[in-house]
Structures are given as C-alpha cells and as structure tokens.
Amino acid sequence: MTTVLGKRLDSAFYQRSDVVVLAQELLGKVIVTNFPEGLVAGRIVETEAYRAPDDKACHAHLNRFTERTKVMFLAGGHTYIYLCYGIHHLLNIITGSVGEAHAILIRGIEPIIGTDLMLRRRKLAKLGPRIGAGPGVLSQALGVSKQQNATNMLTEETPIWIEDDGFTFREIIAGPRIGIDYAEECADWPWRFYVSGNRFVSKPR
C-alpha cells in the first residue's frame, strides 16, 4: 500500500461515530492524490462536520437516502464528492460505521508535495492561499472530481487517501459552518474547525 510521509488512516480511525471529534482530528493529517500526471499532497487545515440524522445542514438529514446520499451510508473511509453550484466538486470524508451517514468536508489544505502540479491545475503563477483555501479550489488542486465519488480509501491502491505523519497543530479554532444559513438552529453549531493563523484557511463571505 503506497504511502509517502507516514501511515494511512485505517478503519479504526474512520469508523468511530463522533464525527465532530473526527473533524478536529483530521486537522494536520495529510491528504494525497496520485493520478497519472503526478502525486500531490497537502496538510488539512480546515474541516467541517456534517452529522446524520439530526443535523439539518447534512445532506442525509433524517437519514434521507437518495441516489446522491447513498454513499454517505457506506462505512467510514469512503469519499463523498458532489457537485455544488454546478461548478465545484466538494470533497467529503465519510465516517462512522455502515449506516451512519456522517461526513467531513475538507475546506482547506496547505500544499506539501507536488506544489508545481497543483499550481498548474489551478492556473496560478505563484504559491498563495488560492491554491488550497476553499473546498472548490482544493479539489481542483488535488485533481479530484465526482469521478472519485465513493472511493474506498481503505483498499489497496486508490487515487486518493489520507496519511498520519505524526504532525499536530497547536491551536484549533471552532466556529459556525459556512454557507448553510438555511439550516436554522443548526447553522450556529460550531462544527467548522481550522488552524489559527494558517493562510490556507478559507475566508467566510
């Protein structure tokens, strides 16, 4: 099983049921993609937790089961990637056991490996926040799209996986999630987590 900096996160990590804790623990982990054009890796600096069935912002609120949400009910360790605003592919990590439709949205990454390829994919000349700050741009930098939806990152060779290299950030900040005003009282839940002072954290509108 290919790794580049540490060991891959395993089922024991992904399949715990507290998605809000896991969203915090994902900060500092390294997300890797390996496509024919090259391998790239970035450290996760911003996440959001989405929990079924009680969270109104979660696509699987009340365990709603549709063609789109069915992958959320798979075992922790699968990807959930969907198209938002008809343009942006948003990358989520499914957590919990089979039937628990929890997801963690990756919202910010700090490039570590393959920065040049990420810059090319983003059509940028030099390194800056626009390479990885925001859920849409980070998917573009990593080269992921809906085609990688439902990837099981626990199997042998996958185009996308997450590693733990032992690194942890010191100061984590919690705040309300972005872009979910419709979610009523759930809109205020402080389930967005980010690294204090890191420039690859997205900016609220």
Partner DNA sequence: GTGCGGATGAACT
Partner DNA sequence: GTTCATCCGCACT
Q: For binding to DNA (CB under 7 A), which residues are involved? A: 48, 50, 57-59, 64, 66-69, 80, 82-88, 90, 92, 103, 105, 122, 130, 134-138, 177-180, 182, 202, 205
Separation between Cα atoms, residue 194 and residue 174, nearest integer Å:
7
Secondary structure of residue 184 in the 3-state scheme: helix
For the bound state, the minimum distance from the C-beta of residue 186 to DNA, rounded and expressed in Å, comes to 11
Using the minimum distance from each CB to DNA, give the nearer residue, 6 or 53.
Answer: 53
Q: Are 156 and 133 in contact (CB under 8 A)?
A: no
Residue holding tokens 């626990």? Answer: 154
79-84 and 88-95 beta bridge pairing: antiparallel
For the bound state, the minimum distance from the C-beta of residue 14 to DNA, rounded and expressed in Å, comes to 16
Using the minimum distance from each CB to DNA, give the nearer residue, 58 or 162.
Answer: 58
Q: Are 131 and 115 in contact (CB under 8 A)?
A: yes
Report which of 196, 203, 198 is spatially closest to residue 179, judged by C-alpha positions. Answer: 203
* Integer angstrom CA distances of residue 108 from 63, 138, 201: 27, 7, 5
For the bound state, the minimum distance from the C-beta of residue 88 to DNA, rounded and expressed in Å, comes to 5
Using the minimum distance from each CB to DNA, give the nearer residue, 18 or 167.
Answer: 18
Report which of 5, 155, 132, 4 is spatially closest to residue 79, judged by C-alpha positions. Answer: 155
For the bound state, the minimum distance from the C-beta of residue 163 to DNA, rounded and expressed in Å, comes to 22
Q: Which residues pair with 30 in a beta bridge?
A: 43, 163
For the bound state, the minimum distance from the C-beta of residue 7 to DNA, rounded and expressed in Å, comes to 26
For the bound state, the minimum distance from the C-beta of residue 170 to DNA, rounded and expressed in Å, comes to 25
Using the minimum distance from each CB to DNA, give the nearer residue, 123 or 170.
Answer: 123
Using the minimum distance from each CB to DNA, give the nearer residue, 32 or 119.
Answer: 119
What single letter denotes the amino acid at residue 16?
A: R
Using the minimum distance from each CB to DNA, give the nearer residue, 67 or 185.
Answer: 67
